[in-house]
Amino acid sequence: MPQIPQSPSQICPACKADLLAPAGPKFADEVWKDLRQQGLSAKDWALQHGFEPTLVYSVLSGNRKCLRGKSHQVAKALGLK
């Protein structure tokens, strides 16, 4: 069986996350845990990634459906989608 070539991992310059990680979607509590482990607040993460902090808090608290627009972009960037 031929082996599939593996591409080198790509790292986000802002948060040092592996962009090609095979992990599936996360839950909000996992994202909060990851942020705490990195020593970041949701506001810090939002500003590093160019999002409004209030929008990030709304996405993480479940107040947004995240189906389209900025909230969807935030959810994807956080790994929720």
Give per-residue pLDDT as tens, 14-32. 666 665 555 678 899 999 9
Q: Where do the H-state alpha helices sit in the chain?
A: 28-37, 42-49, 53-61, 69-78
In the chain, where the domains are located: 28-78
Calculate ∠ Cα 52-58-64, nearest 5°. Answer: 115
pLDDT digits (tens, 9 = 90+) for 36-78: 999 999 999 999 999 999 999 999 999 999 999 999 999 999 9
Beta strands per DSSP E along the chain: none
CA distance 56 to 77: 10
